[in-house]
Amino acid sequence: MSSTTNSDQMQSALQESRKFPPPAALAAEAHVGSPEAYEKLYKESIEDPEGFWAGAAKEMHWFKPWDKVLEWNCPDAKWFVGGQTNLSYNCLDRQVEAGLGDQTAIIWESEAVDAKGKPTVLNLTYSDLLSKVSKFANALKKLGVKKGDVVTIYLPMIPELAIAMLACARIGAPHSIIFGGFSAQAICDRVNNCESRFLVTADGGWRRGKSVPLKKNADGGMELTDRIETCVVVKHAQIDIPMKDGRDIWYHDVVTDASDVCPAEPMDSEDLAFILYTSGSTGKPKGIMHTTGGYMVYTYLTSKISFDLHPGDVYWCTADIGWITGHSYIIYGILPNRVPSIMYEGGPNHPGNDRFWDIIERHKVTKFYTAPTAIRTFMKWGDAEVEKHDLSSLKLLGTVGEPINPEAWMWYREKIGGGRCPVVDTWWQTETGGHMLVPKPGATTTTPGSCTTPFFGIDIAVVNSDGEEVPTNTGGILVIRKPWPAMLRGVFGDRERYIDTYWSKVKGMYTAGDGARKDEDGNFWIMGRIDDVIIVAGHNIGTMEVESGLVSHPAVAEAAVVGYPHDIKGNGIAAFVILRGDIPVGEEAEKLKAELAKHVAKELGPISKPDVIKLTDALPKTRSGKIMRRLLRDIAAGVEIKGDITTLEDKSIVEKLQKR
Ligand code: WT7
């Protein structure tokens, strides 16, 4: 089942022909305003990547210019070699020096609301943020943090999270941010892996109306490892917590007397900016390393182009900063673009299921970026929640994290975007640092389910295991053939794993682990992880397509598809289906299952028809919202669950599914 050799023949049955050209008004003002403009610039960027990226880098501040744009010894890239810059300087000081200090950098909104239903909102200007970041940077220095020391950050979505990361960047201390939903064991593993001696946490955070005891988890983590020497604690959720003498210290105490002037440290372009551990996989955490100059330029330019950012925009990405999406597209790529970035503390359903639409209406959000898993949840919650609010400020909608099935794409476009906003489906990874396949909103004609064409400078292709491009509309391995500025520089402390995972499947090319096809218009379609491909009677079936087939039935809200051993076909297809309404029982249930199977056969052909359908009210997901198909494979095969389940969000779901 988990064959990579056969995936170069992955078959595609998905038919989608709806096309949406860019809205004329947006195109007229866009940074990239026509297909011709995109084609021309793309060609230039591929023929002369060094010239192209030097041009982009010049839009930012460098303490010392680079000597050489690129040094490439596969699989090691160095960008802007010899140049010196600073991420925090480009996010903050530059804006203040340009006289824009009074403009809003971050709009923070609390989850909790008062008796009148009002949340707490903080507008942090570039000047405010610069002063707070400088204070905390000075405090960190005083606590003994030196350039190169890794600082672990385990915070909820509060302003101090943005402040702490920018303070680290300011003094050249790489950060390792751990998502606030992770456990004590996860903290310990990550702290040990990067040998971090400093931790920044909070008493707690708010999520769906309940407080999350972060310090308690952090204490648990610090019991499992003795590496943390200093733990700075933000008071936020007003939870009573123990403070350990000599180790734990309050954030408000360390910043009170600290000076608000702290010059940004000139960093070499290739100095480590941060480590971010990837989610969802088994075994040892994988610390993805990103460096300074290339990451900075790439996230700046992709933010500008993909979201077509202009003065006057209000931008909101709903991700947590604990994921790469938040690193790149709440903070590092957005602040240099001088557009306010909303940081919302909590969940989508507090106090009501319309919280996101309420936020968009109140802040007049123009550019909105969220995940397919959220969109499908909103569909399930019903259109009435959306219709309560005026969403006419929206101009562009983005998605990231998983393939978005055409049904959800259309709903997003129609119900949220009012049919007038381009949907920007961004394909990328923690490892790529920024968008790789992405519509240019003023230039690209979009089609539901496709992440369309490459970003500038990205030489991306669908190949077989010999690295040869496969024919149009044939599934294969998605590879990147040339280095790009924000590419990962390695896996922390594990050179072998870096080479094994990314550089050994197809010689000389970066493999992303995804299967894809390219259509006759040059648009890319992600077919799912290569490891998830199911070989049914010799045919390779992409899970994503069967899932889309199921979701296109009006009764279905979400579906996950896996293979299981089948006597005749080698593998059968098992589908786990969440319905929009209640789950029927007995004969009704059987009737619906038969109807769903027939529907898929009609949409995709009989080979893709599920053999087994299980109706469920929830699916096992990682905390970042990705379906854990390996658990579903074990459940479908009726065997004991193997492997790590520490990243699973709700463990009870597995037991429920086993009983179905
Ligand atoms: C994997 C990377 C990129 C930030 C969030 C996830 C899947 C991501 C898309 C998309 C289809 C997508 C891929 C990729 N993925 N975006 N637009 N269409 N698939 O980061 O945890 O590093 O996961 O997410 O499978 O390889 P990540």
Q: What atom of ligand 1 comes closest to residue 404's alpha carbon?
A: 18
Q: Alpha helix locations (H) across 427-476?
A: none
Residue 287, token pair as written in the block: 């610390």
| Distance in Å, CA 402 to ligand 1 centroid | 5
Q: What is the mean pLDDT of the chain?
A: 93
Q: Whose CA is nearest to atom 24 of ligand 1?
A: 401
Residue 548 lies in a domain: yes
| Distance in Å, CA 428 to ligand 1 centroid | 5
Best residue for ligand 1 mutational test, from 427, 530, 627 (most atoms within 8 Å of Cβ):
427
Residue 27, token pair as written in the block: 């195109």
Ligand 1: does its nearest atom lie under 6 Å from the Cβ of 324? Answer: yes
- Digit-coded pLDDT (tens) for 101-137: 999 999 999 999 999 999 999 999 999 999 999 999 9
Type and span of the H or E element at 44: helix 35-47
Ligand 1: does its nearest atom lie under 6 Å from the Cβ of 327? Answer: no
DSSP letters, 288-334, are EEEESHHHHHHHHHHHHHHTT--TT--EEE-S-TTSHHHIIIIIITT
Question: What percent of the chain is predicted at pLDDT more than 70?
Answer: 97
Best residue for ligand 1 mutational test, from 306, 423, 429, 627 (most atoms within 8 Å of Cβ):
429
Give me the mean pLDDT over the 21-29 stretch: 97
The CATH number of the domain where 562 resides is what?
3.30.300.30
Q: What atom of ligand 1 comes closest to residue 319's alpha carbon?
A: 5
Q: 598 or 649: whose pLDDT is higher?
A: 598
Residue 336 lies in a domain: no
Q: What atom of ligand 1 comes closest to residue 528's alpha carbon?
A: 25
Minimum mean pLDDT among 148-152, 211-215, 417-421, 532-536: which range?
532-536
Q: What atom of ligand 1 comes closest to residue 431's alpha carbon?
A: 22
| Distance in Å, CA 363 to ligand 1 centroid | 28
Determine the residue type at 77: A
Determine the residue type at 318: T
Give me the mean pLDDT over the 478-496 stretch: 97
Asked whether the beta carbons of 556 and 596 are under 8 A apart, the reply is yes
Q: Domain containing 617: what range?
A: 533-659
Distance CA 270, CA 428 (A): 21
Sign (positive or negative) of CA dihedral 342, 345, 348, 349: negative
Residue 601 lies in a domain: yes
| Distance in Å, CA 592 to ligand 1 centroid | 32
pLDDT at 531: 79
| Distance in Å, CA 427 to ligand 1 centroid | 6
Type and span of the H or E element at 268: strand 267-268
Nearest Cα neighbor of 589 from 563, 555, 547, 620 is: 555
| Distance in Å, CA 293 to ligand 1 centroid | 23
Residue 649 lies in a domain: yes
Q: What atom of ligand 1 comes closest to residue 624's alpha carbon?
A: 21
pLDDT at 12: 64
Determine the residue type at 166: L
Residue 629 lies in a domain: yes
| Distance in Å, CA 239 to ligand 1 centroid | 35
Best residue for ligand 1 mutational test, from 177, 317, 428 (most atoms within 8 Å of Cβ):
428
User: pLDDT-derived band of residue 8, with 50, 70 and 90 as boundaries?
Assistant: very low
| Distance in Å, CA 326 to ligand 1 centroid | 13
**The total number of structural domains that make up the chain:** 1
Distance CA 343, CA 177 (A): 16
Residue 73 lies in a domain: no
Residue 551 lies in a domain: yes
User: pLDDT-derived band of residue 650, with 50, 70 and 90 as boundaries?
Assistant: confident
Q: Whose CA is nearest to atom 8 of ligand 1?
A: 401
Q: Is the pLDDT confidence value at 185 over 60?
A: yes
pLDDT at 649: 76
Number of residues assigned to the chain:
660
Asked whether the beta carbons of 394 and 416 are under 8 A apart, the reply is yes
CB under 8 A, 24+ apart: contacts of 253-260? 254/136, 254/139, 254/142, 254/143, 255/132, 255/135, 255/136, 255/139, 258/135, 258/136, 258/138, 258/139, 258/142, 259/134, 259/135, 259/138, 260/131, 260/132, 260/134, 260/135, 260/138
Ligand 1: does its nearest atom lie under 6 Å from the Cβ of 547? Answer: no
Burial zone of 95 (CB within 10 Å; 0-12 exposed, 13-18 middle, 19+ buried): buried
Ligand 1: does its nearest atom lie under 6 Å from the Cβ of 401? Answer: yes
User: pLDDT-derived band of residue 279, with 50, 70 and 90 as boundaries?
Assistant: low
Ligand 1: does its nearest atom lie under 6 Å from the Cβ of 501? Answer: no
Residue 170 lies in a domain: no
Distance CA 176, CA 590 (A): 49
| Distance in Å, CA 524 to ligand 1 centroid | 14
pLDDT at 250: 98
